[in-house]
Chains A and B, each alone.
Chain A
Amino acid sequence: MKSAVVVFPGSNRDGDMLAAIELISGQRPISVWHAETSLPKLDLIVLPGGFAYGDYLRTGAIAARSPVMRAVAGAAAAGVAVLGVCNGFQILCEAGLLPGVLMRNSRLSFICRDVNLRVETSDSTFTRAYRKGEVFATPVAHGEGNYRADDETLKRLKGEDRVAFRYVDEQGRTTEAANVNGSVDSIAGILSEKRNVLGLMPHPENAVEPAQGGIGGRKLFEGILGKVLA
């Protein structure tokens, strides 16, 4: 099992991600600098949270055009599992590896709090350890997580069972109050066509140990790492 966390100069949850993967897999992932143009053979590539290049322009816009992203796109096309969390999700969208965009939160301010996510499909390496319909808590911490896509894209995402997670309340219902950033159709995470690329705004890597206040994110890593190990 070989995994890598891509490090942009402004990544700031790379350490959190390295720690979470190491905790669950027992193996420390490698860190890959954004200026690299090639990648070793990997089973999992993670784009972590942060502000890749400051994100003063549009979140993820510069990172999507960085040298390492060409190699990430190549690996994704070859079927390697790619996980983008928060800024990583924004970069995947900007790079065209996932459809849609992430706009400014509907309430216009940065928001850091626990949210409840409903697992919409267990049919992926990332979500297979969860039960479909399962609800778990995990934090968000972002200013631009309002997922938007055109009607055609949304129709395809739903038709192909590619919505991975939705923001819900404690009872598992999608409500306006629970939709923390105003995302269309309460979408929190989506899968690529081949289901090997997942982007999500919340931070499962900050919910893997009881000391962090909950372990809702744990099964996501158990799913990916278990599958790859098998």
Chain B
Amino acid sequence: MNAPVAITPALVAEHGLKPDEYQRILKLIGREPTITELGIFSAMWNEHCSYKSSKRWLRTLPTKGARVIYGPGENAGAVDIGDGQAVIFKMESHNHPSFIEPYQGAATGVGGILRDVFTMGARPIAAMNALFFGAPEHPKTRHLVSGVVGGVGGYGNSFGVPTVAGSVLFDRRYNGNILVNAFAAGIADKNAIFTSQAEGVGRPVVYLGSKTGRDGIHGATMASAAFGGADAEEKRPTVQVGDPFSEKLLLEACLELMASGAVIAIQDMGAAGLTSSAVEMGAKGDLGILLELDRVPTRETGMTAYEMMLSESQERMLMVLDPAREKDAEAIFRKWGLDFAVIGRTTDDLRFRLVHQGVEVANLPIKELGDQAPEYDRPRTEPVAPVPLDRASVPEPADYGEALVRLIGSPNMSSRRYVWEQYDHLVQGNTMQRPGGDAAVVRLPGTAKALAFTTDVTPRYCAADPFEGGKQAVAEAWRNLTAVGALPLAVTDNLNFGNPERPDVMGQFAAAILGIGEASRALDFPVVSGNVSLYNETNGASIPPTPTIGGVGLLPDATAMATIAFKAEGEAILVIGKAGTHLGRSAYLMELLGRDEGAPPPVDLRAEKANGDFVRTLISDRRITACHDVSDGGLAIALVEMALAGGMGVAINLATSGDRLGWLFGEDQARYVVTAPQESAAAITTAAAAAGIPVSVIGRTGGAELTCTGTFAVPLAKLRSAHENWFPDYMARPA
């Protein structure tokens, strides 16, 4: 089984290790590695696990804050939400596997992120998914949408976590490389958060959960490589298969075990499975780890040490237990019908040693495996500043009403009901705001509080200007949380980019991170967890830079929550923020004219903060009846969405004599639409003026039409059918 294998340059290359990286290994261990050791290095030093190209830039992000308990470096970030509770959350990509095998790729992405959260002792209470597909007309898109949505639902629904929000975007630049970014959040007792840091010598290292099979071997390496033409098919066997039922058992067993006091350290087996989990527990605790691989529960006979160490079989955990409590721990796992095996122990020699069939197949310095991973400051070229849009070249539509119907019924602006209705968004009974609003809201039983969740990024902005695009993604997440009345707490970032060995891609990456950092700092919205996914390219074509932001906010009093729906006829409609003008990279330009041009709207972070804080106070003081942020499609689309959600129309007065198009469809940032009873509108206007916040009263709710003086009058029913029908019609059409 463990016959020596000659380590040839070809074999090294197959493991994704560059010649200089292999030299580094030789220097580090002073001899040629065994095949098992080579596998371990390839798993630990690939981009996915080592962040070797991104680390330098990630370090620039603000990660601390008064409420932050754990920032990046743990399985997930942890933030204090009062009453002795913490919210624990993270977002992670499963892009390559989902392109190869959409159902299982997406399902195991959900499974992986849920494990990251409950590994820290938190019970998952909410999930989200940000999905990016190719053009609707691309022959693979429909199949990928169907599989990914099915996989997300199939896993989350069975596991029992509500999938409460997310996004779905279509863009031809994802034709050969879709993105699946899965988010999960859980709640833990602030004083009972678990980490992977092992403590104590001679303590049992315990394997829990499902058995180890040959699935997913080299999954992390695959995630660190770009696709060639026929590659996707050939790589199918490296995609793992998810089992949400086992995950549910693992959740319940882990939480029960943690409550019993037997757990010293815990780490889920995610990317690079047993290898990275064991190394991380030892390295963090300044301990060595000795594993006896003959004790690993396996699904198949004849598995080699190499295969066991690199398997990415799902639903597995590694723990260091209090030896005095080993029997109790075993009883809990047997009750839940899960495998439980002591497979090794902690040592004081700082070595990572593996014994299989009486042979020592690996003996490596445990800390250096992680610490000495290569780190690159890759060459980069500054992104080229976008050419401003030539406004004179953008005609007004012949019929504004028709343009509005087309835009609200376009692939990227239409309702995502088809998707979210396949996700159980109500299980656990705490969903206060369902998908379709600015942010989902989930109450916390036994308290007056609720948490708000959103995912945001506008890739067409990021492609044009990665710095402003990075800023905008953070600002929009902050704004969406604010719009439901939540205080934005912190974010998790899922950074999806192309090949970092290309200077232009590295330039995009650096600029986007700097933009994210600037916005996070200005908005007091630290980055507490995240994931980097590079090499998202097929046949040399990169995806647009896509730094997805998952934002979490806190509503101290859940009953003060705002929604986007108009509530009553005859109410005043106010816009908080400046009048719209900016059409560069707008949805109007892109979806209706097919023009991807200009600079994205700049984000004025000071205005963002001031306007948002003002709106949040209006909500908590219960002075407004509905609230919606202005984003894709501008003011006109915000009004349509509010009208559709409330089932009533609106009449607005055109408040500009000049630029009608910009006023209606401009995507200027830092803006909200709110409604209030007529009698309180004046007081809000006065308060805004006193605070230096731009505000305007633009119309009133009511009727069955959306009207704008001298510009359009469209029946709500017509807008609704355009908005609701695109997705189901598209999916029902033969491929």
- Residue ranges of A at the interface with B (Cβ–Cβ < 8 Å): 9-10, 12-13, 15-16, 19-20, 49-51, 53-56, 109-113, 139, 141, 143, 203, 205-206, 211-213
A10 touches which one: B245, B430, B443 (CB < 8 A)? Answer: B245
B237 at the interface (CB under 8 A from A): no
By a CB distance below 8 angstroms, the chain B residues around A49 are 427
Contact status of A212 and B429, CB under 8 A, knowing A12-B159, A13-B160 = yes
Known: A56-B245, A111-B422, A203-B426. 16 other contacts (CB 8 A): A9-B249, A9-B336, A16-B427, A49-B427, A51-B158, A51-B248, A53-B245, A54-B246, A110-B153, A110-B422, A112-B157, A139-B426, A211-B559, A212-B426, A212-B430, A213-B434
B701 at the interface (CB under 8 A from A): no
Q: Name 9 A/B residue pairs within 8 A (Cβ), A-sorted.
A: A19-B429, A49-B427, A53-B245, A54-B158, A112-B423, A112-B424, A205-B429, A206-B426, A211-B559
B97 at the interface (CB under 8 A from A): no
- Residue ranges of B at the interface with A (Cβ–Cβ < 8 Å): 150, 153-154, 157-160, 243-246, 248-249, 252, 336-337, 420-432, 434, 443, 445, 558-559
By a CB distance below 8 angstroms, the chain A residues around B559 are 211
| A54 close to B244 (CB less than 8 A) | yes
Nearest 5 CB-CB pairings of A with B = A12-B160, A54-B245, A16-B429, A141-B424, A51-B158
By a CB distance below 8 angstroms, the chain A residues around B158 are 10, 12, 51, 54-55
By a CB distance below 8 angstroms, the chain B residues around A51 are 157-158, 244-245, 248
| B249 close to A16 (CB less than 8 A) | no
| B245 close to A15 (CB less than 8 A) | no
A10 to B244, CA, bound (A): 9
By a CB distance below 8 angstroms, the chain A residues around B252 are 9
By a CB distance below 8 angstroms, the chain A residues around B243 are 54
By a CB distance below 8 angstroms, the chain A residues around B421 are 111-113
A16 to B160, CA, bound (A): 11
By a CB distance below 8 angstroms, the chain B residues around A213 are 431-432, 434
| B244 close to A109 (CB less than 8 A) | no
A212 to B160, CA, bound (A): 17
A15 to B153, CA, bound (A): 20
Question: Please, which residue of chain A has its CB at the minimum distance from the CB of B337?
Answer: A9
A15 to B124, CA, bound (A): 13
By a CB distance below 8 angstroms, the chain B residues around A56 are 245
Question: Please, which residue of chain B has its CB at the minimum distance from the CB of A9?
Answer: B249
Question: Please, which residue of chain B has its CB at the minimum distance from the CB of A209?
Answer: B429
A26 to chain B, nearest CB (A): 16
Contact status of A109 and B422, CB under 8 A, knowing A9-B337, A12-B248, A211-B558 = yes
By a CB distance below 8 angstroms, the chain B residues around A10 are 158, 245, 248-249
| B434 close to A12 (CB less than 8 A) | no
A141 to B421, CA, bound (A): 9
| A211 close to B424 (CB less than 8 A) | no
B426 touches which one: A9, A53, A112 (CB < 8 A)? Answer: A112
| B422 close to A50 (CB less than 8 A) | no
Q: Report which residue of A53, A110, A139 has the largest number of chain B beta carbons within 10 angstroms of its beta carbon.
A: A110
By a CB distance below 8 angstroms, the chain B residues around A55 are 158, 245
By a CB distance below 8 angstroms, the chain B residues around A113 are 421
A56 to B244, CA, bound (A): 10
| B160 close to A50 (CB less than 8 A) | yes
By a CB distance below 8 angstroms, the chain A residues around B434 are 213
A138 to B376, CA, bound (A): 55
By a CB distance below 8 angstroms, the chain A residues around B337 are 9
B675 to chain A, nearest CB (A): 20
By a CB distance below 8 angstroms, the chain A residues around B157 are 51, 110, 112, 141, 143
A109 to B421, CA, bound (A): 9
A188 to B354, CA, bound (A): 57
A15 touches which one: B422, B423, B426, B429 (CB < 8 A)? Answer: B429
A20 to B559, CA, bound (A): 19
Q: Report which residue of B154, B420, B426 has the largest number of chain A beta carbons within 10 angstroms of its beta carbon.
A: B426
| A20 close to B429 (CB less than 8 A) | yes
Question: Please, which residue of chain A has its CB at the minimum distance from the CB of B158?
Answer: A51
B431 touches which one: A15, A205, A212 (CB < 8 A)? Answer: A212
| B445 close to A19 (CB less than 8 A) | yes
A51 to B161, CA, bound (A): 13
Contact status of A13 and B248, CB under 8 A, knowing A50-B160, A211-B432 = no
Contact status of A13 and B427, CB under 8 A, knowing A54-B245, A141-B157 = yes
| A15 close to B425 (CB less than 8 A) | no
Question: Please, which residue of chain B has its CB at the minimum distance from the CB of A213?
Answer: B434
B5 to chain A, nearest CB (A): 38
Question: Please, which residue of chain B has its CB at the minimum distance from the CB of A203?
Answer: B426
A203 to B157, CA, bound (A): 14
A46 to chain B, nearest CB (A): 14
By a CB distance below 8 angstroms, the chain B residues around A111 are 421-422
By a CB distance below 8 angstroms, the chain A residues around B558 are 211
A20 to B430, CA, bound (A): 11
A113 to B426, CA, bound (A): 9
By a CB distance below 8 angstroms, the chain A residues around B432 are 211-213
Contact status of A206 and B424, CB under 8 A, knowing A9-B252, A54-B244 = no
By a CB distance below 8 angstroms, the chain A residues around B245 are 9-10, 51, 53-56
By a CB distance below 8 angstroms, the chain A residues around B429 are 13, 15-16, 19-20, 205-206, 212
Contact status of A112 and B244, CB under 8 A, knowing A16-B427, A211-B432 = no
A18 to chain B, nearest CB (A): 10
A49 to B337, CA, bound (A): 21
Contact status of A109 and B150, CB under 8 A, knowing A15-B429, A141-B424, A212-B429 = yes
B154 to chain A, nearest CB (A): 8
B106 to chain A, nearest CB (A): 14
A55 to B428, CA, bound (A): 19
Question: Please, which residue of chain A has its CB at the minimum distance from the CB of B441?
Answer: A211
B427 touches which one: A12, A19, A54 (CB < 8 A)? Answer: A12
A24 to B423, CA, bound (A): 28
A162 to B511, CA, bound (A): 66
A143 to chain B, nearest CB (A): 8
A108 to B249, CA, bound (A): 27
A55 to B158, CA, bound (A): 9
Question: Please, which residue of chain A has its CB at the minimum distance from the CB of B338?
Answer: A9
A211 to chain B, nearest CB (A): 5
By a CB distance below 8 angstroms, the chain A residues around B249 are 9-10
A225 to B725, CA, bound (A): 43
A212 to B150, CA, bound (A): 25
B230 to chain A, nearest CB (A): 31
By a CB distance below 8 angstroms, the chain B residues around A212 are 426, 429-432
A113 to B225, CA, bound (A): 40
A20 to B422, CA, bound (A): 24
By a CB distance below 8 angstroms, the chain A residues around B150 are 109
B114 to chain A, nearest CB (A): 13
By a CB distance below 8 angstroms, the chain B residues around A143 are 157
A213 to B427, CA, bound (A): 13
Question: Please, which residue of chain A has its CB at the minimum distance from the CB of B731?
Answer: A109
